[in-house]
Amino acid sequence: MSLSGRIEQITGKRPARLNPLSGGCVGEVYRADLTDGGKMVAKTGGPGSGLAIEGAMLTYLAKRSDLPVPEVFHAEDSLLLMSWIESGGSLNAVAQRHAAGLLADLHGIRGESFGHECDTLIGGLHQPNPKTQSWIDFFRDHRLLHMGHEAVMAGRLPTRTMARLEDLCWRLDDWIEEPAYPSLIHGDMWGGNVLVRGERIAGFIDPAIYYADPEIELAFSTLFNTFGEPFFARYQEHRPLRPGFFEERRDLYNLYPLLVHVRLFGHSYIGSVERILSKFGF
């Protein structure tokens, strides 16, 4: 059955046009313009694509938080149907301040442990989330060491760099403290996943959720210059940051998204990983 036929079968609405969109890591993405004038987003994939997990993550955020996310109409690995979010603005200072309030509220949602009730995905990669009482243990074992080993097995990360990473991992408590409680995070906070309309945040897409120290989310938001001073000034009005975040912990936390990028894209990100390891003496 054609994609248009499947959409009509599931939703009762017939697409007049399917417009390809950019951004699909595991399959094709389309905006479906419907004959009734409405719009929706359709993502297609094969077995193991993780689209069902993406749909579950969006639904979890919609039920547990006030974060603006697409409404999920249908979710299975072969097809994810979501509401279309109109966007087109830039992440200027006003929009960043709006984002800060939304994320501060999200980070106020407490979990009983770090991790999640199920494993999730980041960039199409498996993201293990066993429930763990210690944040340092979780970050070490299920983020840095897990993704480092994945990158080595894929032939993307040199074993000598992995050895340096392992040495740092056993010293994480020199710089990282246990947070007051596990916080719900979006998990993949870069500009491509933040939709702006005018000077307001219209929605957040492509989550990689789990319960964490929210500083890992804040660090990621600086890696590709998504958020800057306007965001952090407003965020700290809601949730003050502990000393040392910008000086030390931001780089430690950004090792994880950098390792994700090494696993996905290869050698061009290795230098950034090694610079952080050198900064901390490894």
Kindly state the tokens that stand for 122. Answer: 């980041």
Annotated catalytic residue, options 66, 77, 119, 188: 188
Q: Which of 81, 256, 59 has its CA nearest to residue 172?
A: 256
Contacts of 122 by beta carbon, 8 Å cutoff, 6+ apart = 187, 188, 208, 260
How many H-runs (helices) and E-runs (strands) does the chain carry?
10, 11
Q: Which of 99, 86, 101, 122 has its CA nearest to residue 227?
A: 99
Q: Which of 192, 187, 208, 161 has its CA nearest to residue 253?
A: 187
**Active-site residue, 174 included:** no
Q: CA 26 to CA 106: how far, in whole Å?
A: 27
Task: Give the single-character DSSP code of 18.
Answer: E
Contacts of 5 by beta carbon, 8 Å cutoff, 6+ apart = none
Known catalytic residues are 188
